[in-house]
Structure 1
Amino acid sequence: MSQFLDKKAMENGTKFLIYAQNKKLEGFEQPEVVYLNSPPHTIKAGPEDNRMYAVDAKNKRPYTVQGPPYQGPSYPPVEPNDQGHFDYISPNDRTFSSMTMYATVRRVLEIWEDYFGHTIQWPFDNAKLELIPRVEWNNAQSGPGFLEFGFGRKENGEIDYTSPYCENFDILAHEIGHTIKNSIIGRPSSRSKETLEYHGHHEAFGDIVAIVASLHFNSNVDKLLYKTKGNLFSINELSRVGELDKAREIRIAFNDKKMSDVGSEEHEMSEPFTGGVFDILIEVYQNNLAERGLISRELGKRAYHASPDQVSSIQEEFRKLYEGKEAQFKQSLLDARDFFGKLMALAWSKTSSENLRYWKVMNNIIEADQELSNGKFKDVIIDCFDWREIVEEKDEQPLLRTHIVKELVNFEALYQIKDSNYMNS
């Protein structure tokens, strides 16, 4: 969402509460007020609007064959207060889950519709997306027309009711990112036009949607810059997508993965692409810093290619430059966020699901940059992908066929296999 639209929402929007990061992380124990770009009293009890609705089902088991609409017993819908807002709800109240799940999905959708410049239509027949925040299950899943989230589980395998997945912003943002991708890019028309990179890109798309959305919390931006002193080519809250606790995350966006380093599993396959576009975001940010005289271009290059023995000295240089210029560093990051959001939205709008290859998406990013900045970042984009072995192939290799990823998935099993996996949807 552009800074202009964000300001407009704060002036005239409806208030909700969302945890900016996993509430078990230090510094994120309390939810924050967010403003959805809808005037007070326009969002109905549920919450519900013309695109989606939350329903707090009673003792619901996960959907199997039959999907929405849910017609079983449910708790009363969440009501707005007299001013038309929903931020009065306590995190200790069961209704908080319905409120924050709706707010997260709606917020992420608004952010990316602004970058795409149009309404993102649902890639299913249902008129509205159904959101079920508390399913009696130590798992979560998405499917045509619905998202339903259960809970984490304790070491003994029992459901951990203190850890509802629907309150984890990154995971929900990633998942609605899949829905956005299915709308914008779609699915291959046949298995013969399906590639491993299509599935890897499916996961990377969700990661990128979540990363950009997380930068719309002032607390995230402020804490990120304070901890890093402006040096974002590092392992930090932004690059740790979907933190489960202070020691575990779903995936690392700041990584050194090349195509030759990863296997055919779609989450592994996503990492070189996610890493490449994350590098582009940070390069745009560092360019903003350099243009504003906040850092030298030489320091930016050293930060990108830093060896382990250089990290501490580079960090100290950033610290000296950052202190006293916090507001300018923040504005540089927000401007980079908005340019990058528009860049990826335009590139994805040019991308086909048929025979999808990473280098084709790279070329679409280059074309998008030409339209947005007259090709200012062409060399940066090529460099960020080239060393990851994502390069244009004049003579394409035979397609690598794989299975269609199912929408109904084993969330906890993915966590058990590898902590760096999201829902495989």
Structure 2
Amino acid sequence: MSQFLDALAKENGTKFLIYPQNKKLRGFEQPELIYVNQPPGSIKAGPEDDKTYVVDAKDKLQYRFQGEGPPYLGARYPSVEPNKEGHFDHIRPGTRAFSCTVMYATVRRVLDIWEDYFGHKIQWYFYRDFSKLELIPRVEWNNAQSGYGFLEFGFSHNSDGGIDHSNPYCENFDVLGHEVGHLIKNSTIGWPESKNKETREYRAHHESFGDLVAIVSVMHFESVINHILKYTNGNLFSLNELSRMGELSQATEIRRAFNDKKMSCVDSPEEEHILSEPFTGGAFDILVEMFQHNLIERGLISEELGKRAYDAHYGEVPEVQEEFNQCYHGKEDEFQKALLDARDYFGKLMATAWSKTSPDNLSFGKVLHNIIEADRELNEGKYEKVILDCFNWREIIPATDDSRTLLYTHVVDKLAPFSTDKILHQDFE
């Protein structure tokens, strides 16, 4: 959300504790206080509000087949109660109750952020059948999934491939934020009107959408912003936590937004996660370029340094990093403000572009065309050259509805048959 609305939430919102990143990563071992943009006392026990509710199910296995889903009617643990002031930050980490509150708060926080960028309330795509999203934080499963009217999360893998009960997926902000991104995409872009209008790039963009929602959302943690800037000194064209999606350990993540993938290098275009990487990488480059433009405009780095950083961002260049170190020292607050401004413009840019995007015969080029149109609408095309350059390097060029769609095919989800009515989306095997 914008910095203005974020400040309002801190004044008037309800308090929760959340881990900004996987709690097993150095620097993120302790949860951080956040504010959900709803007044204290408005969130009921559960937690539950007008959009979501938590069910702490006992010994539940995952929903497996089409038609399975909410409402869950099995045995459950008691709902988590707010304190006398209406807050939930008294719930301690390591408990089942904490998994309930952190899952609720993460979903609500991501939704708050993106409703602000979209400029309107987001109506769940399943609203005709379910008025609220069902959240199940601890399922006996070493995976996680989103589906028609629900999110249910298990646990990460342990060393022998079993369930690591000490590390619930629902407490990993990146992983959960990515899945909320899928729900937002389903609720804003939707599905093709028929199977013969579904493309590989539609499925891949579904993954990019989730990645980009998670990236922008995690940038709303002050600790994450401070951590990134501290260890990069503002040179974000380097491998850092911002670009690593769904980190599972200090050295392992599910996908990287910071990548060197081009369309011609995609060796498995039928696999949507792999096909998504050029688009996600190009969009991430735009975000970083916007940050660098802010730094240049504010006299914090030179234009020449910004160009060298971009040109060298897939290799280690000590001289570039050393210059960033010198520029950053003593200007930490100015660098942070430049990054937050880039975050907010990028979020608004993508939300505006996605609002223009049709799911029918979707191609990356069509989404790119909408990003350019959004930049013209929001800022008179200030970043058009940056946007074109970043995606051109990825071999993605603007396209219109009259342009030929690339990589046209119908893709069936490997884990559950595709349905325009009810889709079971599994992400983490």
The TM-score with structure 1 as length reference comes to 0.95
Aligned-partner Cα distance in 2 for 1:298–1:204: 31
Q: How many residues align?
A: 413
Aligned-pair distance for 1:333? 0.3
Sort the Cα spacing of 1:410 and 1:354 in 2 relative to 1 into closer, same or farther, 3 A: closer
Residue type at the aligned position of 2:336? K
SS class of match (2:368): helix
1:51 aligns with 2:55: no
Residue type at the aligned position of 1:2? S
Aligned-pair distance for 1:397? 5.2
Q: Residues 20 and 32 of structure 2 are in contact (CA less than 8 Å); yes or no, is this contact kept in structure 1?
A: yes
1:379 aligns with 2:393: no
1:199 aligns with 2:200: no
Q: Residues 132 and 148 of structure 1 are in contact (CA less than 8 Å); yes or no, is this contact kept in structure 2?
A: yes
- Residue 84 (structure 1) aligns with: 86
Find the partner of 2:375 among 366, 369, 374: 369
Aligned-pair distance for 1:139? 1.9
Sort the Cα spacing of 1:141 and 1:206 in 2 relative to 1 into closer, same or farther, 3 A: same
Aligned-pair distance for 1:72? 1.0
Aligned-partner Cα distance in 2 for 1:183–1:144: 11
- Residue 417 (structure 1) aligns with: none
Give matches, 1:12-411, under 5 Å: 12-64=12-64, 65-124=67-126, 125-262=129-266, 263-264=268-269, 265-306=271-312, 311-392=317-398, 396=404, 400-405=408-413, 406=416, 407-408=423-424, 411=427
Aligned-partner Cα distance in 1 for 2:151–2:6: 26
Aligned-pair distance for 1:391? 1.3
Aligned-partner Cα distance in 2 for 1:397–1:157: 40
Aligned-pair distance for 1:308? 6.7
Give unpaired runs (5+ residues) of structure 2. Answer: 417-422
Give unpaired runs (5+ residues) of structure 1. Answer: 415-425
Aligned-partner Cα distance in 1 for 2:325–2:103: 37
Sort the Cα spacing of 1:330 and 1:109 in 2 relative to 1 into closer, same or farther, 3 A: same
Residue type at the aligned position of 2:91? I
Residue type at the aligned position of 2:142? N
Task: Summarize deviations over 1:226-257 as a string: whole Å, max 9, x none.
Answer: 10000001110101111111111111111111
Q: Percent identity?
A: 64
Aligned-partner Cα distance in 1 for 2:209–2:390: 17
Sort the Cα spacing of 1:55 and 1:375 in 2 relative to 1 into closer, same or farther, 3 A: same
Q: Residues 191 and 401 of structure 1 are in contact (CA less than 8 Å); yes or no, is this contact kept in structure 2?
A: no
Aligned-partner Cα distance in 1 for 2:102–2:52: 13
SS class of match (1:278): helix
Task: Summarize deviations over 1:327-380 as a string: whole Å, max 9, x none.
Answer: 000000000000000000000000000000111111101110001111111111
Residue type at the aligned position of 2:88? F
SS class of match (2:255): strand
Residue type at the aligned position of 1:402? H
Q: Residues 128 and 145 of structure 1 are in contact (CA less than 8 Å); yes or no, is this contact kept in structure 2?
A: yes
Residue type at the aligned position of 1:174? H
The TM-score with structure 2 as length reference comes to 0.94
